[in-house]
């Protein structure tokens, strides 16, 4: 099996699963209980929070554990909107955000909030001047992803942060789900107030994640109850999942430090191979894009046909965001980039991991050529 759909989800590392199992069996007490078992669980929870904070170079009180990227994005955006609506109801995001951001913003429009959806250029990049021109006195939030989950474009987050320094009332949220562990980002230096990470994108477990909330940032809680997670996410903490998340964060950071050049070489190898295929059109920009995502289109062919043909050879790729891959054929990201209909309806995404090998990519390209040649004959 050759798995090349790592932007949708990753295979959990054995060490991560083992840490989950150990925490589940040995630290099953409720961290809110005052007896010994509860205190042991509370200590492990505190240690995990401190380790996550150390990895991100932030304060441990700024870490809120969640169930993943979608919840983190909802808590951040709705939390700001509901808490700060008295001083403004204007929010800025982009046309190419993950559905968990776009749909959250659309839901707020039904409650009287005004959303500005910034356009992108042909590479999927937001112009800094467009952000500057959209900011207003009643802007309370700017939400822009770091790495696009579909085509891999890296946004100039640090430059956006510089612009927002002149607008202290506007909070800055960054969806860092695809960037963490692959594209470095200094949270403090970038002026970020809220940042989302998901465990299952970094060889962790599904249902785990965290939200960074800068100290002093006030959010309206979407979960009321026992007051866990700084009163922002009531409910008994998923301690085994939290332990597994932090383990995954630590391991993927080690992989980035040791194997990032390997991942970048694999990407450029595949980029050149696909660029040499006459029937393929590359959508991922060659420069300033993540080292693990390559997106291309095959005009005239339905992407699901190519995907299922490759699956017969036990090769797994995808079309677009896993959260929207079963929706309409057209890619909203490619449409926003100004791509023609035959490009935006035939997109395919290959996403690598640090465990991907060049031999796997050689075999993938070989099978892809065979599939495209066979399908092109059928289409004639």
**Which pLDDT value is given to residue 36?**
80
- pLDDT tens for the chain, 380 residues: list them: 999 999 999 999 999 999 999 999 998 888 888 888 888 899 999 999 999 999 999 999 999 999 999 999 999 999 999 999 999 999 999 999 999 999 999 999 999 999 999 999 999 999 999 999 999 999 999 999 999 999 999 999 999 999 999 999 999 999 999 999 999 999 999 999 999 999 999 999 999 999 999 999 999 999 999 989 888 999 989 999 999 999 999 999 999 999 999 999 999 999 999 999 999 999 999 999 999 999 999 999 999 999 999 999 999 999 865 555 444 579 999 999 999 999 999 999 999 999 999 999 999 999 999 999 988 776 64
**Which pLDDT value is given to residue 322?**
52
Task: Please list the active-site residues.
Answer: 323
Structure tokens at 366: 């070989």
Q: Are residues 350 and 266 in the same domain?
A: yes
Question: How many structural domains compose the chain?
Answer: 2
Q: Are residues 198 and 283 in the same domain?
A: no
Burial 60-82 (b: 16+ CB within 10 A, else e): eebbbbbbbbbbbbbbbbbbbbe
The reported pTM is 0.95
Q: Are residues 288 and 140 in the same domain?
A: no
Domain with 176, as residue range(s), is 14-250
Q: Are residues 106 and 246 in the same domain?
A: yes
Cβ atoms of 56 and 79 within 8 Å: the answer is: no
**Which pLDDT value is given to residue 326?**
44
Q: Are residues 217 and 342 in the same domain?
A: no
Residue where one domain finishes, among candidates 228, 250, 272: 250
Query: Is 310 domain-assigned?
Result: yes
DSSP string, 282-322: E-S-SSSB-TTEEEEE-TTS-HHHHHHHHHTTTEE-BSS-T
Q: Identify the three-state secondary structure at position 337.
A: coil
Q: Are residues 282 and 325 in the same domain?
A: yes
**Which pLDDT value is given to residue 320?**
66
Query: Is 377 domain-assigned?
Result: no
Distance CA 60, CA 246 (A): 13
Residue where one domain finishes, among candidates 250, 273, 307: 250
Distance CA 7, CA 270 (A): 16
CATH classification of the domain holding 105: 3.40.640.10
Q: Are residues 57 and 141 in the same domain?
A: yes
CA distances from 274 to 270, 304, 338, 340 (A): 6, 18, 21, 19
For CA atoms 317, 322, 327, 328, the dihedral sign is negative
């Amino acid at each position: 099996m050759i798995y090349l759909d790592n932007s949708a989800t990753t295979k959990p590392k054995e060490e991560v699963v083992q840490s989950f199992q150990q925490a589940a069996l040995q630290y099953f007490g409720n961290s809110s209980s005052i007896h010994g078992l509860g205190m042991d669980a509370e200590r492990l929870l505190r240690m995990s929070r401190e380790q996550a904070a150390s990895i991100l170079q932030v304060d441990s009180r700024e870490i809120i554990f969640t169930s993943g990227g979608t919840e983190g994005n909802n808590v951040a955006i709705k939390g700001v909107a509901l808490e700060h609506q008295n001083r403004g109801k204007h929010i800025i995001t982009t046309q190419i955000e993950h559905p968990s951001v776009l749909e959250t913003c659309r839901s707020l429009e039904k409650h009287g909030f005004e959303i500005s959806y910034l356009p992108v250029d042909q590479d999927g990049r937001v112009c800094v001047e467009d952000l500057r021109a959209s900011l207003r006195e009643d802007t309370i939030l700017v939400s822009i992803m770091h790495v696009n989950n579909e085509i891999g474009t890296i946004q100039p987050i640090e430059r956006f942060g510089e612009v927002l320094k002149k607008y202290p009332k506007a909070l800055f949220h960054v969806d860092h789900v695809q960037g963490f562990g692959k594209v470095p980002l200094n949270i403090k230096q970038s002026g970020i107030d809220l940042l989302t990470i998901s465990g299952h994108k970094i060889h962790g477990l599904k249902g785990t994640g965290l939200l960074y909330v800068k100290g002093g940032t006030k959010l309206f809680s979407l979960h009321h109850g026992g007051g866990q997670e700084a009163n922002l996410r009531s409910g008994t903490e998923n301690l085994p999942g939290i332990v597994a998340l932090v383990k995954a964060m630590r391991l993927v950071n080690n992989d980035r430090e040791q194997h990032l050049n390997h991942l970048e070489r694999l990407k450029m190898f595949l980029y050149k191979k696909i660029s040499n295929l006459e029937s393929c059109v590359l959508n991922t920009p060659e420069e300033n894009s993540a080292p693990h995502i390559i997106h291309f289109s095959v005009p005239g062919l339905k992407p699901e046909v190519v995907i299922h043909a490759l699956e017969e050879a036990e090769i797994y790729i995808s079309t677009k965001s896993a959260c929207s891959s079963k929706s309409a054929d057209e890619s909203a990201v490619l449409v926003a980039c100004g791509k023609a209909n035959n490009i935006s309806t035939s997109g395919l995404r290959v996403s690598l991991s640090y465990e991907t090998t060049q031999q796997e990519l050689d075999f993938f390209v070989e099978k892809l050529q065979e599939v495209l040649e066979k399908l092109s004959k059928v289409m004639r």
